[in-house]
Amino acid sequence: MKLASHFYAMIDPLAGHDPVELARTMLGAGARVLQLRLKHACGRDFLKAAREIAALCEPCGATLLVNDRIDIAILANAAGVHLGQTDIPLRAARKLIGPARIIGISTASVDQARAAEAGGAAYIGFGPMYPGGAKQNPTGKGRAMLREVRAAVGVPIVAIGGITEERVPELLAAGADAVAIISDVVYAADIALKIKRILGAA
């Protein structure tokens, strides 16, 4: 798999945005890889948002991935799903979602990254890169470990965790194929402008 962009957009209602409108803004600013992350939504609301966002993605050729929920990804006809280390195992997920859809896996070590690649993950998320961020991470993995992961796997790497616009160039230089940013984007005064600047940072 080749990621369509070095900006991996996170549709997260952390700052109070409606997810569909947030996705619309992100797509309008040029985002072409989006993950829908609705940790506290009920299944009905999650599916409704996923279907509406999938419809927005289709005409511009954007890739929609659904966080955690394989059922939502299938029902919304999303491109794939992103799973964490405590979610359904990759092999079982593949049986459920079929051979054509994308599966990405969150990792936090070289061993986890290798296991994800060996299991057939199309890409991996790696982090948290820095302290802070949406999850208020106490520590970060840092660029040295990112370089170790880059040397260990051939699949695309999406760096995540505590990333700001200013840190994008250094992470791309350290081996990330893309960056996933939540707080620095969703709390921006002008989200579209923020995304355009990030897209211009390669």
The reply to whether 2 falls in a domain is no
The reply to whether 1 falls in a domain is no
Q: 191: domain CATH number?
A: 3.20.20.70
Query: pLDDT for 58-107, tens place per residue?
Result: 999 999 999 999 999 999 999 999 999 999 999 999 999 999 999 999 99
pTM of the model: 0.95
Q: Which domain holds residue 161?
A: 7-199
The reply to whether 91 falls in a domain is yes
> CB-based contacts of 60: which residues, under 8 Å, 6+ apart?
27, 32
Residue 82 burial (CB < 10 Å; 0-12/13-18/19+)? buried
Q: How many domains does the chain have?
A: 1
The reply to whether 187 falls in a domain is yes
